[in-house]
């Protein structure tokens, strides 16, 4: 079964869809750059479109997720690594 298999309830899909929207907005806020979401935009669906069917929301989640990951994947890593390995909590810090 995939993450978005048939057993997933519509309400759960709506929550996941909204979460992806929040992830996109958060990334755009902290980086001051827009994530291009042309494919997602052509679907004409958002998490508030509760009248749309599960299949439409599944597709929107997968497309939006792919566009977010593709955009972030093209950017340099946002983690820096400490040369001092004496304190494990300081091994990786977010810039």
Per-residue pLDDT tens for 44-64? 999 999 999 999 999 999 999
For 17, 37, 50, the CA distances from 62, given in Å and listed in that order, are 9, 12, 17
Residues contacting residue 83 through CB under 8 Å, at least 6 positions apart: none
pLDDT given at position 75 = 82
* Beta strands at 92-94 and 79-81: parallel, antiparallel or unpaired: antiparallel
pLDDT given at position 3 = 55
pLDDT given at position 4 = 61
pTM higher than 0.75: no
May I ask the CATH class of domain 10-94? mainly alpha
In the chain, where are the structural domains located?
10-94
Spell out the long-range contacts of 30-37 with Cβ–Cβ below 8 A and sequence spacing 24 or more.
35/67, 35/68, 35/71, 35/72, 36/67, 36/71, 37/64, 37/67, 37/68
pLDDT given at position 93 = 44
pLDDT given at position 5 = 58
User: What is the mean predicted confidence (pLDDT) over 1-20?
Assistant: 81
């Amino acid at each position: 079964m995939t993450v978005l298999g048939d057993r997933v309830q519509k309400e759960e899909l709506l929550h996941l869809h909204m979460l992806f929207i929040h992830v996109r907005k958060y990334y755009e806020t902290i980086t001051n750059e827009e994530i291009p979401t042309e494919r997602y935009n052509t679907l004409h669906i958002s998490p508030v479109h509760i009248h749309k069917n599960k299949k439409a929301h599944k597709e929107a989640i997968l497309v939006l997720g792919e566009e977010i990951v593709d955009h972030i994947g093209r950017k340099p890593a946002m983690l820096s690594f400490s040369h001092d390995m004496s304190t494990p909590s300081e091994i990786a810090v977010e810039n």
